[in-house]
Chain A
Amino acid sequence: MFSFVIRRVALLIPIFFGVTLVSFGFIRMLPGDPVAALAGERDMTPERHAEMMARLGLDKPAWEQYFDYVWKLLHGDFGTSVLTNRPVLDEFLELFPATLELGMAAMLLAIIIGLPIGIFAAIKRGTIYDQGIMGLSLIGYSMPIFWWGLLLIILFGGIWGLTPISGRISYLFDVETVTGFLLIDTLLSGEEGAFASAVHHMILPTIVLGTIPLAIIARQTRSAMLEVLSEDYVRTARAKGLSPLRVYGLHALRNAMITVITVIGLQVGTLMAGAILTETIFSWPGIGKWIIFSVFSRDYYAVQGGLVLIAMIIMSVNLVVDLLYGLINPRIMHTNS
């Protein structure tokens, strides 16, 4: 087990350097620079431009900037935002709980609904239920997030008035930030109605962000279950006269879970990508919206620091998923060792 973990962690090192290189290069490949973005159409003398670039440390050769960046990263310094002049890590940590909270809610929704309907579709293979569920999940998977979000806002928030339009909580509540997770902070604050307002504000963004992972989980659970259900041991289990619950729940599902957990793990990336759009539509103060704004304003340090932080999170989740495989299916751990 120990060597398995070590090997998995060691694999992350080249990936980490790859990510630093891509994040560093990506933002610099875009036309313009942070000083020009600040200036807009206004004239700026080349001297003033050069002075400001130098002040930001952007006058040095690219390789020097890159090594400086990596050196600082290794010392836990993610840089300072050009725009706000605040440490990138501080900004990230301030906004990340909002993304995590929404992401977890969306994931929970996707699993709670996706898993059972996937199993159900597999059991009812070929029936109208199966076709209906798979048809719907295909629609869900193909749904453009921006359009889907706006549609829900206009219907539920605008026309029917059932949900708030956007934001994380009603402006009537000024809840003190303790954990950054609003559902917890509202409970801690003891303000009447604050928790309900936070939950109320979460409904639509959770649905929008959870739709694609839900569709993927449902489809993958179905196909994994179908594969397992055709195995001999399942037939044996049935022949033994076990109850359907034991056959599907214990024998089939446990084996199907390998695929399903991989898929759930991979959804973290999908959630991050979805968060960019979902947060923009719902004015959700998370890192997706922040990264996009930083790209637009060519805030090099915020983009490269933010991307590395996001990549680190995705890598950690994948690592956990890798380790979970080992626990669920010890064969994987042994094969690798």
Chain B
Amino acid sequence: MKKTLIKAALTISLAVIASASFAAEKTLVFCSEGSPGGFNPSLHSAGTDFDASSQPIYNRLTEFEPGTTKVVPGLAESWTVTGGGTVYTFNLRKGVKWHSNKHFTPTRDFNADDILFSFNRQWKKDHPYHSVSGGKYLYFGWMDMGPALKSIEKVDDYTVKFTLNSPDAPFISNLAMDFASILSAEYADKMAAAGTKETVDNAPIGTGPFEFVSYKKDAVIRYKAFDAYWEGRPKIDKLIYAITTDATVRYQKLKAGECHIMPYPNAADLAAMEKDPNINLLRQEGLNVGYLGFNTSKPPFDNKIVRQALSMAIDKQAILDIVFKGSGSAAKNPIPPTMWSYNDNIVDYRYDPEIARRLLASAGIKNLKTDIWAMPVQRPYNPNARRMAELIQADWAKVGVTAEIKTFEWGEYRERIRAGEHESALLGWTGDNGDPDNFMFVLLGCAAAKSNVARWCNEEFDGLLRDAKKTSDQAERTVLYEKAQVIFKDEAPWFTIAHSVQFRPVRKEVLNFKIHPLGSHIFKYVDLK
């Protein structure tokens, strides 16, 4: 009894301290899912790294409007595209202040030197900072920035010119990505002079809404509002990431008020979250797609009729109900509905085994024996590939197709798919920059030999994508991508399955928090009641 009383007294006193300090200053606690590898988003490229570095601490030339993939001005106030889509000239924002810490107090505002430093470090192998902190610039490589860039020049302190080797409209979206965050050249120079170059990556200095305060590995990251932030000081005073790896524990912390926002809830907890009066369960389709790709280089999958028939033989709704259990929405296009140029007029193949059987017969297919490859890993766009493959196998059996399910270790799985060993394979994609090119060209373009699971090359489709790369006019590009989606649907190189739905449980006192389609957690506009 006595112990209980002591515990109760302790709990109450801590609660009082907690509420008192809530009143004094606004502290937002985010129960993050893991520890960042580091605080330089060009070096550390997981979502957890970006949440901890690029979003609170840094800015980029262009930014994504929160909640959308629309590109808006960031550190570049405006830009012009000339030279047939190959020359991008950015007018930089003036009066943007840098953070400071115990190693560094800035003597100047942000300018063109910082842009040159941030990109050249990743691009030029002979840059004095290129090899610092391990020098793994993964995203810079993945987005093919090296081959795309011809030159980056400083025109004056507030004008920078990027010249590309060929027109590449998605380039402007690439610049809004986390890896393209802008670091301080002055800080880098100072640390180089002190012989502690790695400090630039460990004790970050940015222009973003929050200043980095401290990090205790696997425990907590602390930030404070940056008073001189160019968009205006954030409404919350302190931002705390309470690192909590287990999703069930995160939910308990959220319920107990120990944190305000949590990412990646367990599917099993969603129903309870929905009923909780203190929690708002936000949801949005993720920027991803899960699909079954037919290997069009192998007969009979080179025949469009066969692909259409097999698509009609699969009960998509059953997959959504059984495999996704409400955390997925049906996909009919290769891009998700949150992305601009999504063609909503497309009509998906209807589940109809009878017509499927007739179509197969008309194509001269009898007793087809094939395989379905199932990924060995869980992904948001495919929470259980094995189960999904079993459902498809059963559906196909109904139209006389016998399919064997195959699976390999993840690395080998992708390697064998690249080599084209499969007949049909389950895979998916999560978008990088919110540009349709990042789905269609990367996954279905003729040049994308390795990531094109369907090994599908349609000249008309590919021509539309290439035209869309050349123009930076979004309206014009939208028309081209919409047409491309029509061809895609008719040709059916994939059976499009689902877009996963992202859920973010948020306590009711949190205002203005939006789910970002790219999965980042952005707190600069968030306020607390």
> Does A39 lie within 8 Å of B138, measured CB to CB?
yes
Closest to B244 in A: A283
Pair B134/A85 contact, Cβ less than 8 Å: yes
A31 interface hit (Cβ, 8 Å)? yes
| Least distance between B302 CB and chain A CB atoms (Å) | 24
A163 to B248, CA, bound (A): 16
| Residue A94 lies at the interface, judged by CB distance under 8 Å to chain B | yes
Q: Interface-forming stretch among A41-49, A117-125, A209-217, A322-330?
A: A41-49
Additional A-B contact list (10), CB under 8 Å, known A165-B256, A171-B27, A193-B13:
A41-B429, A42-B142, A52-B136, A150-B249, A162-B8, A166-B249, A166-B258, A167-B220, A174-B222, A289-B245
- Chain B contact residues (Cβ within 8 angstroms of A): what range? 35 or more
Verify if A304 is at the interface (C-beta below 8 Å from B).
Answer: no
Q: How far is the CA of A32 from the CA of B45 in the complex (A)?
A: 18
The distance from the CB of B23 to the nearest CB of chain A, in whole angstroms, is 13
Contacting residues, chain B, for A91 (C-beta < 8 A): 217
State whether the Cβ of A36 lies closer than 8 Å to any Cβ in chain B: yes
A39-B138, A283-B245 known; A158-B255 Cβ under 8 A: yes
Identity of the chain A residue whose Cβ is nearest the Cβ of B375 in the assembled complex = A41
Chain A residues with CB below 8 A from B487, complex form? none
Using known A-B contacts A153-B249, A289-B245, determine if residue A167 contacts B219 with beta carbons closer than 8 Å: yes
Docked pose: A198 CA to B111 CA in angstroms:
45
A168 CA / B242 CA spacing, docked (Å): 10
Query: Is B128 in the interface zone, CB < 8 Å from A?
Result: no
* Cβ contacts under 8 Å, B38 to chain A: 84-85
Task: With CB as the reference atom, state the residue of chain A lying closest to B29.
Answer: A171
**A residues adjacent to B (C-beta < 8 A):** 31-33, 36, 38-39, 41-45, 48, 52, 55, 82-85, 91, 94-95, 150, 153-154, 157-158, 161-168, 170-172, 174, 177, 193, 196-197, 200, 280-286, 289-290, 293
CB distance from B143 to the nearest CB of A (A): 10
Q: How long is the Cα–Cα vector from A193 to B10 in the complex, in angstroms? A: 9
Tell me the bound Cα distance from A38 to B136 in angstroms.
10
Is A290 a contact of B218 with CB atoms below 8 Å? yes
Report whether A196 and B14 are in contact in the complex, using a CB–CB cutoff of 8 Å: yes
Q: Is the CB of B7 within 8 A of A171?
A: no
Quick check: is B428 within 8 A (CB to CB) of the other chain? yes
Lowest 9 A-B CB distances belong to which pairs? A285-B218, A31-B409, A285-B219, A85-B134, A283-B244, A165-B253, A165-B252, A83-B37, A43-B451
Interface string of B236-258 (1 = CB under 8 A from A): 00001011111011001101101
Identify B258's interface contact among A165, A284, A285, CB under 8 A. A165
Contacts of B7 in A (CB 8 A): 162-163
The reply to whether A165 and B37 contact each other, CB–CB distance below 8 Å, is no
Complex interface: chain A residues within 8 A of B43 (CB): 85
Contact of B450 among A43, A95, A172, A197 (CB under 8 A): A43
- Is B216 a contact partner of A177 (Cβ separation < 8 A)? yes
- Contact assessment for A41 and B428 in the assembled complex, using a CB-CB cutoff below 8 Å: yes
Least CB separation from B43: chain A residue? A85
Of the candidates A31, A150, A168, the one whose C-beta lies within 8 Å of that of B410 is A31
Q: How far is the CA of A45 from the CA of B323 in the complex (A)?
A: 32
Contact with A along B129-141 (1 / 0, CB 8 A): 0000111101001
A42 to B266, CA, bound (A): 25
Contact of B218 among A39, A95, A157, A174 (CB under 8 A): A95
Asked if B412 CB lies within 8 Å of chain A CBs, one says: yes
Inter-chain contacts of B141 with A (CB < 8 A): 44, 48
Report whether A172 and B138 are in contact in the complex, using a CB–CB cutoff of 8 Å: no
* B14 A170 Cβ-Cβ under 8 A: yes
Q: Which residues of B contact A283 (CB under 8 A)?
A: 218-219, 242-246, 249
Chain B residues with CB below 8 A from A150, complex form: 248-249
Chain A residues, CB < 8 A from B10: 196, 200
Residues in B whose Cβ lies below 8 Å from that of A55: 134-136
Main secondary structure of the interface of B (DSSP, over half): mixed
A197–B13 Cα gap in the complex (Å)? 10
Q: Which A residues lie within 8 Å of B245 (CB)? A: 280, 283, 289, 293
A285 and B216 contacting across the interface, CB-CB below 8 Å: yes
- Name 23 interchain pairs, CB-CB below 8 A, sorted by A: A32-B409, A32-B411, A38-B45, A38-B136, A41-B414, A41-B429, A43-B450, A84-B37, A85-B37, A162-B11, A163-B11, A165-B253, A166-B246, A167-B244, A168-B219, A170-B17, A171-B240, A172-B18, A193-B17, A283-B246, A284-B218, A285-B218, A289-B245
CA distance A52 to B140 in the complex (A): 14
User: Beyond A41-B379, A158-B252, A162-B7, is A193–B14 a contact (Cβ under 8 Å)?
Assistant: yes
In the bound complex, do residue A281 and residue B249 qualify as a contact, i.e. CB atoms below 8 Å apart?
yes
B134 closest partner in A (C-beta): A85
Residue of A nearest to B3 (CB): A162
The CA-CA distance from A41 to B10 in the complex, in Å, is: 48
Task: Decide if B35 is an interface residue (CB 8 Å cutoff).
Answer: yes
The CA of A83 and the CA of B37, in the complex, are separated in Å by 6
Known: A41-B414, A200-B14, A285-B217. A85 touches B249 (CB 8 A): no
Which of B142, B218, B410, B428 counts the most chain A CB atoms within 10 A? B218
Give the CA-CA distance A44 to B451 in the complex, in Å.
Answer: 10
**Distance between A113 CB and nearest chain B CB, rounded to angstroms:** 14
Is there contact, CB below 8 Å, between B414 and A171? no
| Chain B residues with CB below 8 A from A83, complex form | 37
Q: Which residues of A contact B252 (CB under 8 A)?
A: 153-154, 157-158, 165-166
Does B367 make an interface contact (CB < 8 A)?
no
**Is B34 on the interface with A (CB-CB < 8 A)?**
yes
Q: How distant is the Cα of A91 from the Cα of B21 in the complex, in angstroms? A: 32
Least distance between B496 CB and chain A CB atoms (Å): 17
CA–CA, A36 and B21, complex, Å: 45
Chain A min CB distance to B75 (Å) = 27
Look across to chain B and name the residue whose beta carbon is closest to the beta carbon of A45.
B450
With A and B bound together, what is the CA distance between A310 and B245 in angstroms? Answer: 22
Write out the residue numbers on chain B whose beta carbons fall within 8 Å of the beta carbon of A39: 138
Q: Mark B31-46, 1 if CB is under 8 A from A, else 0.
A: 0001101100001011
Q: Which residues of B contact A167 (CB under 8 A)?
A: 219-220, 242, 244, 258
**Residue B214 at the A interface, CB < 8 A?**
yes
- In the complex, what residues of B have CB within 8 A of residue A293's CB? 34-35, 245
CB-CB < 8 A to B34: which residues of A? 293
Kindly state whether residue B427 has any CB partner on chain A within 8 Å.
Answer: yes
B418 CB contacts on chain A under 8 angstroms: 43
B8 pairs with A157, CB closer than 8 A: no
Q: Which B residues are in CB contact (< 8 Å) with A84?
A: 37-38
The complex places the Cα of A60 from the Cα of B428 at a distance, in Å, of 33
Q: How far is the CB of B306 from chain A (nearest CB, A)?
A: 27
Contact between B410 and A32, CB atoms less than 8 A apart: yes
Q: Is the CB of A172 within 8 A of B17?
A: yes
Given contacts A38-B136, A41-B414, A170-B18, contact A281 B450 (CB under 8 A): no
Separation of A290 and B37 alpha carbons in the complex (Å): 12
Q: A42-B142, A153-B249, A285-B217 are in contact. Are A164 and B258 (CB under 8 A)?
A: yes
| Distance A83 CA – B133 CA, assembled complex (angstroms) | 10
Q: A36-B411, A166-B244 in contact; A95/B255 too (CB < 8 A)?
A: no
Residue in B138, B243, B451 whose CB lies within 8 Å of A38: B138
Bound complex: CA A231 to CA B253 (Å): 54
Task: State in angstroms the CA–CA spacing of A289 and B45 once bound together.
Answer: 21
Point out the residues of chain B lying under 8 angstroms from A285, CB to CB.
216-219, 243
Complex interface: chain B residues within 8 A of A42 (CB):
142
Give the residues in chain B near A95, CB-CB below 8 Å. 217-218
Task: For the complex formed, measure the closest distance between the CB of A162 and the CB atoms of chain B, giving whole angstroms.
Answer: 5
State in angstroms the CA–CA spacing of A31 and B414 once bound together: 13
Kindly list chain B residues whose C-beta atoms are within 8 Å of the C-beta of A281.
246, 249
B417-476 contacts to A (CB < 8 Å):
418, 427-430, 450-451
